Chains A and B, each alone.
Chain A
Amino acid sequence: MKIDPELKIELKKTLMNEINKKRDDIIIESSIPLSNEQISMLLEKYPKFKNKNIKFVLNRKIIAGIIIKQGSTIIDLSLLTQFNQIKKNLYEIT
């Protein structure tokens, strides 16, 4: 089946838009569900997150704190990472 070239361009455009939108989506991982108050505090701290799709994910493994992901960038504020960091530093000292 042949697709009309014009249609093809349109289709490509919409698909690209979809992908870009998804890339802009923000995922926030936390060990316990965040309260509304906490979420508003977060938005205050990071104003660029406003008007964006935010997805909340529960992840017990990170122990405490949150991890914010957007596309390929990450802000890691979890306790697990800090523990790992300490583990590494201790190894270097001894």
Chain B
Amino acid sequence: MKLLDQYLKQIEKELSSKKVDTASKETGSLVELKDGIAIVNGLDKGFFGEIVEFENGVQGYILDLSEDSVGIIVLGDYLTLSEGMQVKGTGHILSIPVGDELIGKVVNPLSQSLFSSQNFKLTKNYPIERIAPGVVKRQSVNSPVQTGIKAIDALIPIGRGQRELIIGDRVTGKSTIAIDTIINQKNKNLICIYCSIGQKNSKIASVINTFNKYDAMNHTIVVSSSASDPVSMQYLAPYSATAIGEYFMDKGNDVLIIYDDLTKHAWAYRQLSLILRMPAGREAYPGDVFYLHSRLLERACKLHKNYGGGSLTAIPIVETLEGDISGYIPTNIISITDGQIFLETELFNAGIRPAINIGLSVSRVGSNAQTKAIKQVSGRLKLDLAQYRELAAFSQFESDLDEGTKKNLNRGAKVSQILIQSRNNPYTLTEEVCLIWSAVNGYLDNIPLNKINDFEMKLINELKLSNYKDIQKKIEKTKELDKNLEQLIKKMIEKLVKTIL
């Protein structure tokens, strides 16, 4: 009974506050309905991106303006609409509610919770489409996103505010890299948004499970639009994930967004634009498919100190066919982003995981985005690997090699081995620095390949012991290697190598 009284009170309040709306409104009538899109006559003064409301309360979003009709994306169940319905313009641009409460939640592209048990109220609204911050507001990228993946942190560093593409065939571990990166951001002051576009519900569920298992949900928001959602939702998902990210960025936080994946987003947009009868171009994509992604990824940035100093890092994922990175969508996105991580099936099958092809992967922000400690050890690493790759192909035909070549080959093999790492197992900065230091300085040269893994395990255990806690403390604090520290690491590793041999 108490609940009923509460309801009645609320209703009373609602009714007394309502005033008769005498303002004139734009209207139109629904003439056509196709797969999540409504064609409406009228709405003469409607504008691009305006929210409209159908007679039964379902909302829509104007995407296409032609001479005497407009194309509207239906946000909601389009099967409840019928021909001849009245459509009213609201004069508002499409925006979604945002707020701190979103952290740890799973939401749809309209920022509504997917679990009924998650109740939250958001007060602030952010527009889904926003023009990217201009030149004045930006600053060059200077601090790293620690991915916890040795190969990426050492060779292809990602900076806060950078856009780094993850590209590769199916089942090469693209999402795994992204998920590991999110898992590693515990207590690192980086809010992560995982935006799934057109994926299987089962996959989204397993991703959320992984986050829960590794305690990563406390700094993560999942924006989900699955394959069974209308394409309109799939089209909106990355934009609304970015809007949520911008809210935190404007507050001065650092944000990381994973778009998984933009190929499916391009497909969704292709479907929408074909239904809207926009002229089709190459591979039936509309002419503005480049702008579709460039305006999205351009919103990633590092803000200047005077504007709050927040940052938004974008990691889009793109799927290729048969390793062909010269496809239409892959080339578009490669040219937009500041670098790419290229994953290969052959490497993956050969057991090199993450299957990163180091030759084809780059990070255009470069070593500015690396901590000093990693920078100090990874310089040699690149050189060693480059030499190894050159020799490896060549040495297969040659049986007797000179001493120098043998040494280079051995070093390369060990370095490649040390960069291998299992999934959901991110390394700390200290572990990365020590491991790479030992590889670069030749301490692994005498250890057989199959024992490298043992060495890694032992080193990680050793670092946790009280004798060497100083190393961890110092590296975490100064993020730099000085002579004393290097001596200490040397002592530890020399001892470890002896136990292995």
Contacts and interface: CB of A to CB of B under 8 A. Distances in A.
Interface of A: 68-77, 82, 84-86, 88-90, 93-94
Given A72-B27, A72-B45, A93-B7, A77 B14 contact: no
Contacts of B21: 76
Contact of B15 (A68, A75, A86, A88): A86
A71 B45 CA distance: 11
Interface in B137-190: none
B20 A94 contact: no
Nearest to A90: B11
Q: Chain A's interface: helix, strand, loop or mixed, by majority?
A: mixed
B10 A93 contact: yes
Contacts of B26: 72-74
A88 B10 CA distance: 14
Contacts of A88: 57
Contacts of A86: 15, 18
29 contacts: A68-B24, A69-B27, A70-B24, A71-B44, A72-B28, A72-B42, A72-B44, A72-B45, A73-B26, A73-B27, A73-B44, A73-B45, A74-B26, A74-B27, A75-B22, A75-B24, A75-B25, A76-B21, A76-B25, A77-B20, A77-B22, A82-B18, A82-B20, A86-B15, A88-B57, A90-B14, A93-B7, A93-B10, A93-B14
Given A89-B11, A93-B14, 5 more contacts: A72-B42, A73-B26, A85-B18, A89-B18, A90-B11
B23 interface: yes
A58 B205 CA distance: 56
A7 B11 CA distance: 64
A90 B42 CA distance: 30
Contacts of B365: none
Interface string B48-92: 000000010100000000000000000000000000000010000
A69 B43 CA distance: 13
Contacts of B42: 72
In the A-B complex, list the 7 residue pairs whose CB atoms are closest, starting with the nearest: A72-B42, A72-B44, A74-B27, A75-B24, A73-B24, A93-B10, A89-B14
A70 B45 CA distance: 13
B43 A72 contact: yes
Contact of B24 (A74, A82, A85): A74
Nearest to A69: B27
Interface in B1-41: 7, 10-11, 14-15, 18, 20-28
B62 to A, nearest CB: 13
A82 B42 CA distance: 23
Nearest to B17: A89
Contacts of B55: 84
A94 B24 CA distance: 30
Nearest to B87: A72
A82 B22 CA distance: 12
A88 B57 CA distance: 7
B281 to A, nearest CB: 32
B11 A93 contact: yes
A90 B13 CA distance: 11
A68 B24 CA distance: 9
Contacts of A84: 55
A65 B169 CA distance: 63
A68 B28 CA distance: 14
- Most B C-beta atoms less than 10 A away, residue of A68, A70, A71: A71
A77 B167 CA distance: 56
A94 B25 contact: no
A88 B15 CA distance: 12
A83 B181 CA distance: 52
A94 B8 CA distance: 10
Contacts of B22: 75, 77
Nearest to A46: B24
A89 B12 CA distance: 11
A70 B44 CA distance: 11
Contacts of A73: 24-27, 44-45
Contacts of A93: 7, 10-11, 14
A74 B57 CA distance: 17
A93 B444 CA distance: 67
Contacts of A82: 18, 20
Nearest to B55: A84
Contacts of B25: 73-76
Given A73-B27, A75-B23, A94 B57 contact: no
Contacts of B23: 75
A46 B35 CA distance: 41
A21 to B, nearest CB: 16
Nearest to A88: B57
A75 B21 CA distance: 8
A4 to B, nearest CB: 27
- Most B C-beta atoms less than 10 A away, residue of A76, A90, A94: A76
- Most B C-beta atoms less than 10 A away, residue of A73, A77, A88, A89: A73
A84 B58 CA distance: 13
Contacts of A77: 20, 22
Nearest to B29: A72
Interface string B255-290: 000000000000000000000000000000000000
